[in-house]
Structures are given as structure tokens and as C-alpha cells.
Amino acid sequence: LISNTQNVTLKNLIIKENYRGLVLHNASNCIISSSSLTNNVAYAVTLCSNSNNNTFTDNNIMENPTGVWIEKSCENNWFYHNNFINNIIQVDPINPGTNTKWNSTYPIGGNYWSDYTGTDSNGDGISDSPYTNGAIDYLPLMEPWMPTPPIAKFAYTPQNPTANEEITFNASESYDPDGNIVNYTWNFGDGNITTVTTSLIEHAYSAYANYTATLTVTDNDGLKDTMTALIEIKKKTSTLTINIQQEILEIGGNVTITGNLTIQGQPTQNETVIILNRIKGQTIWENLTTVLTNASGTFQYAWIPTTIETYELMASWQGNETTYPANSTIRTISITKRKSNITINVTPPQIYIGENVTITGKLTPAKEGLNITLEYQMLYESPFQFTTWKPLTTVHTNSNGDYFYIWQPETANMYLLRANWLGDNVTAECSNSSGLITVNKLPSNITIKAEPEKITLGANITISGSISPTRLNINVTILISIVNGTNSWNITVQTISDGTYQFSWKPESVGVYHIKASWPGDNFTNSAESEILTVNVENPPKMDALYFFTLLIVVVVIVFLAWKILKK
């Protein structure tokens, strides 16, 4: 009987052939573990009179009429990792207590019940469905519970300790699969053995040597496990860094090299650091310079490379009697040609064939007498794309880097212009293109005149005109078509030296005609069409009877009048 008490731990009890077995009366926060309660007359475990927050684990409750009986006044009691075997009633269903918990969390599980017939589909040792016979165990075990020993595991920092340096030993990754660890015993291998109840401890070794540190953990079941590790006490370690201000540098510029030296994480002053360099791909390092560390352990050097190469840089410290030497990582810097830039401007952007464009631009950095290559591309009409670049000319820069060229395109088209400079030993090449330049054909005009514009059939019409700008021996097409008819005639004539043309046409039938002149243009001049003229061609008048009678009367009258005048 445990009565009117708190925080009592009972372990390794053997209770059998009593009437009520183990009774907790007004007892709270007690732990009952690793005990055997068998063959009692009525009950194996009885909780009554406000016995709250008690824990039962690792117990065998077997061969009793009733395994557990808990009065309603008893709250928040916890049963897990117990074996309920062959009790007539495992848990009194009328008196299971209030808020009694019958399992821990997954994967720790609950209790083993000999009358449970559930299944375990995933083989994790915990049934797929709850046990509900009097108690509700959501994680019932498939096999009787057997205590599992703890697992000892520890790490230490720093990884490379030195003499008299505090080392933190951390056993927080040690664990007990079915309970908890109650103490940690440390044997540091230098004669110091310490037992603690927390997982962290600090220890310092007084001399350089190798030591075997052993950890022994003990769990709440009294089971133990051990882990050992070799602790090598070394010289102090140093760390050296190197940084460069930039990884790409134009020739003539300077780069700042900085770094930091620490011993066991602490900055060290007035130590000589060697800065080494080599061309990338080579194996032999060369001394670039030596520098001293300041109070914060840093060093600095401004370097002006003199050749265009890709360099590797490294810092080195030789160490001393108590500290290992250190080399920094390797940094790479590429020394490149300085950049150049060229501009190109073309004015005006649109001209007629025969006119000039002015090409100007500037090269920077400026230098006199440098060759600038000018190139052009022409636009194909079909397919619509530019030709390859073709050379135009080579010009030279003045002392300001400016260049100048006047160009008269020979063909009407659309052009792109480009300026190129090939660079030199220390300056990179550059190129730039202009916008589109349009060279248009000259406009042209063709006139037309027809005389007369009204004739009778059988007469001739003179068709004439001129082309401007004046063109000699140019074919002019005269199109003659009859209005509201299907007939038309194309007549080709040539211009003479003043650009005029002329043709005499004799229509073959009456009607209204449209006449138009055109010419196709040439490489320099656009085509043109004249206005449309209208010409009327009519039949000559007819001599009918009335006409002759009228004429006869007129003749008679004239003769009569003449006779009378003569008679007088």
C-alpha cells in the first residue's frame, strides 16, 4: 500500500498472491517500473482516492482476475510498455479511471495485451488498430515488451583541441529506445572519471598526447551502453584567408589583396605573411611580397599587374613552435586588355543617288593614327536580308580619336555601316554599327500630248512628250486603248538627246481612245507614268440629196446675182 505520498519511485517489485496486489491511495507523481504483479486474488493494481499522474512502465501484470482497477477520482495516470498477460479482466471496464493514458507516442508504442488479436501490416511491431477491451490503447504492441538497452553516442568540439583548451563533450544524441537515460559516466583517459545526469560536460587535457575518452550511459532499467573516441591533443591550428577586390582587372589598374590570420580563432599581430603568385597552369609559386598582420590579424597589399595573364594568388604563413602553419585557398584573377569603344554616325540618314553621306565617329581611349576599317551591308529585296559585310575604306584617327569620311553610294538601296578597330597589345578590339541608311533613286516625270484630240477617220494624231531628268535612247511605252472595248496597242518609241519622244498614229476605226505613256526607270531614276489623254475619232460627213439641192439653189442665186451686177 502506497498512501498519502508523492514522487515515489518503485522498481523491481515482486507482488503476488495478495488480495489487491499494489494499491496507490492518494498517491501522485509516482513511478512504478520493472516489477512483476502475478497471481493475486482480486486485483494486480488498484488506484484510489485521488491518485493522480502516476506512471507504470516495464511491468509484467499476469495471471490475475483483474489486472488494473482505477477509481474515477484518479486522473491522468499513464501505462505504457507493460505486459498484460492472461488476466481474466485486463482492465476493469467500469473503473478505468479518468483520462487514463494507455500508450506513449509512435514509435515507442503502448502495452502488450495477450487477448488482442489485431494485425501488423507494416511489421513495425505495433498493431494497425487500437486495443479497446476495458482500456483504449492506440498503439498496442504485437509481442511482449522486453526492455532495450540505451545507445551511447557523443561528439566533441573543437575537433582539433590543443593543450589546456576546454573541450565540450556532447552526449545529447545518446538515447534510450524504451525509456530514458538516468546518468552519464565519463572516463576521459587521463585519470578523470566523472558521472553526471546531463548530456553536456567540459574537460581540458593538460598535455599533448592521444587520449581515449569513454562514455557509459545508464537507463531507467539499469541497462548500459558504452562509446569510446580517440582524442588527439595537437598543436594549435591557424587559419589564413586571402581575398581580392575583383576577379577581373584591366591592365594598368591595381587590385587590393587582403586576408586574415587567426590562431585557434583568435587574431594574431605582427606575423609575417607571404603572398605568392603564379600564372594559371604553372606549378611553381613565386613570392609576390611579404606583409605583416595588424592588431586584428589582417593584412593588405595593393598590386599593379604588368602583363595580361590569368594569375593564381595564395597567402602562406610558416607557423611556429606551438602552432601549425597555414596556407590560404587559391584565388584567381584575370588581367585583361583594357576596354575600347567606337562610335559611328552617318548623316543624313536618307539621300538620293548621287548625293553624299558624312561618316564620323570616335575611338576611346583616344590615340592618333589608328586604322579604322569601315564596312557596309546592302539589303536584298528577296529574300529580305542583308548581304555579308564588305569593305568600304580605311580611315585614321586624329589625336582626339575622331575619324571622318565622305561617301557617295553608287547604288540605290538600304545600307548598314560598321566601324571596326582591331585593338593592340593592351587594348581590346571594338566594333559598332550605324542605323539604316536609305539611298533612294531620283524621281522622274513623263509628259504626254496628242494633237489634235479630235479627228476624222483617216487623219493622223501626233503623240509627243518628254522625260525628266533628261534621258537619251530610253524606251517609252505608249499604251493606246479603246474605251469600252477590248483592243489595246503597246507602241515603243525612244527618246532623243533632249529627252523628248514623238509618234504619229493613224487610227483604224472610229471611237474614243485613251492614251498613256510610261517608262520603267533605270539604276538611278524611278519609273513614271503620264496622265491619260482622251482622243475622239469620227467618220467624215455624208453628201445626201437635200445637201445637193441646197447647194444647187445657192449656186443659182449666186449666178443670178452676178448677172444682175454685170448687166448694170
Q: 553: helix, coil or strand?
A: helix
More confident residue, 107 or 369: 369
Look at residues 232, 257, 274 and tell me which one is the last residue of a structural domain: 232
The kind and range of the H/E element at 94 are: strand 89-98
Regarding whether 104 and 20 lie in a shared domain, the answer is: yes
Strands 461-468 and 500-505: antiparallel
Domain count, the chain: 5
Contact by Cβ (8 Å): 249, 305: yes
Regarding whether 528 and 467 lie in a shared domain, the answer is: yes
Whether 358 has a pLDDT exceeding 60, the answer reads yes
Question: Which pLDDT does position 385 carry in this prediction?
Answer: 75
Residue 199 domain-assigned (yes or no):
yes
List pLDDT tens digits, range 88-123.
Answer: 999 999 999 999 999 999 988 999 999 999 999 999
Regarding whether 331 and 282 lie in a shared domain, the answer is: yes
For 185-194, what is the mean pLDDT?
A: 95
List pLDDT tens digits, range 283-296.
Answer: 999 999 999 999 99
User: CA-to-CA distance for 365 and 424, rounded, in angstroms?
Assistant: 12
Regarding whether 308 and 207 lie in a shared domain, the answer is: no
Residue 563 domain-assigned (yes or no):
no
Residue 169 domain-assigned (yes or no):
yes
Regarding whether 223 and 269 lie in a shared domain, the answer is: no
Residue 364 domain-assigned (yes or no):
yes
Whether 544 has a pLDDT exceeding 60, the answer reads no
Whether 384 has a pLDDT exceeding 80, the answer reads no
Q: Which residues pair with 155 in a beta bridge?
A: 170
Question: Which pLDDT does position 340 carry in this prediction?
Answer: 94
Q: Which of 29-38, 171-180, 381-390 has the lowest mean pLDDT?
A: 381-390
Handedness of CA 134, 140, 144, 147 (dihedral sign): negative
CA 152 from centroid of its chain's CA atoms: 46
Residue 200 domain-assigned (yes or no):
yes
* Residue 424: CATH number of its domain: 2.60.40.10
Question: Which pLDDT does position 221 carry in this prediction?
Answer: 79
Regarding whether 7 and 109 lie in a shared domain, the answer is: yes
Regarding whether 504 and 522 lie in a shared domain, the answer is: yes
554 confidence band (pLDDT: 50, 70, 90): confident
Q: Is the pTM of this model over 0.85?
A: no
* Residue 258: CATH number of its domain: 2.60.40.1930
User: CA-to-CA distance for 480 and 516, rounded, in angstroms?
Assistant: 7
Q: Which domain holds residue 201?
A: 155-232
Provide the grid cell at 265: 580563432
Look at residues 232, 249, 265 and tell me which one is the last residue of a structural domain: 232
